[in-house]
Structure 1
Amino acid sequence: MNVSALALDFGDTLAVPGPNPDGRIVLTVLRRLPDTDVPDTFVAAYDHVHRITREADRVRDTHTSFAEEIRRAAALCGARIPDPDAVTELVFDEVPDSRVIRRAADALLRLRAREDLVCVLACDTQRPESVRRRTLVEAGIDVCFDAIVLSCAIGVRKPHPDFYAEVERACGVPRAEIMFVGNTPAKDATAPHVYGMQAVLIAPAGRPSGLPAAIGVIDHFADLPDYLTHMRSR
């Protein structure tokens, strides 16, 4: 089958995931901002809101914004936060983003040098696009991506069909010509396959049982260039 575009997961595919902020980090950032009044009880309120919000999001395959979590925590503890939307990037500046894996970065650069492929980053994350783009720049792979699709920006997460529809729009080619690559069987392989995309699962332990035969399996993202070459030679 023809491959005109790649849709690439990030954490545990191209990068080692970084930590997420907790209530104490959020509180520290909020107290630096003018016109805020945030009690110590915000820490427990935010951690509670974050936990129950993420549980609900996982059930519905939605993604509640970080700013909305802050609004809910503020209402719970009586904090005054004039502009929760302005807080997101400031908070994520305080915690490290995912660390790009050098072998994966080198493989991606080789792919882009030799292949005429659209390349879209497609991942679930709380981090805003500005922070994720900075990480890509620091790793030297920002030039590899034609577009970025983040769950925090579109309000749904994998495996919601609307996520893959947004990836398809970003790629600008028919879904059958898009190859989705990632490490989570349900989200990065089976769901894209059901949606009508091609898929390759990164699975160092080997092919999981029940994975559709049409889905390819590789040990590491660094194996993707050779996988594509082999697939096209058949």
Structure 2
Amino acid sequence: MNSPVETAESVDTSITEALAMMFLELFVPRGTYDTEELQRFAEKLTLKQLLTHAAAISDVVTVHEAARANPGVMDFLDSINHVVVHEISAWVVGGRLLDRTAPPRFIARAYVPGPWRKAMSPFLIASITRALAQADADPDRFHHEPQVEVHVVGVPEGGYGLFGRVAGESSLLEMISQAKTDTGRPNNPDALVDPVCGMASADMVATLEHEGTVYGFCSTGCRRHFADKLAKESSREEP
């Protein structure tokens, strides 16, 4: 339980939508861990900490070292990312109460924007499982027995709110766009910078050409948001 906290520096372009995890719940058997251990669990399951596992789960996601998340966007997403740990008194599996003397089991539930659930699930399931395994005396058991269940729940469009109003996919991406900071051009001449979230990478998920400029996007959601904004601007300019 005492492994050091790491720092997320690179993010794979195929998992950038996982940055939008809004809420994570971890369920553990009551009385198995003390308060300090429960707090460490919560710290290990934050957005930034899960991203530090990307390189180690390359069998699930492909990591590109050239990809860099925008620091301003990371700070904003971290500010709306919540992790809570629940201790459960009554826990029944297979019709029987959990054996208090057996190695503990876990259930984790991550809430993400509905349109991005499918793309985010492989990364979240693998990184959450690895984070919990690292905190256990027998990490191998997590990959040989069903000791950890991870549920990735897609919040339907219109089912999430911030600042007293509904925040759908478009609203979230607009807040992300406003949060990004200017980090300058990437060193790699082949890299593109996502105009929505500020992600820099030479291996973008999608591109769009507008007025002679090619824009790269880390996700289809970012591309769709940018295209919609261009269409609205174009309609306003028409006489």
| Fold match (TM-score > 0.5) | no
Q: TM-score, normalised by structure 2?
A: 0.29
Structure with bigger strand share is 2
Structure with bigger helix share is 1
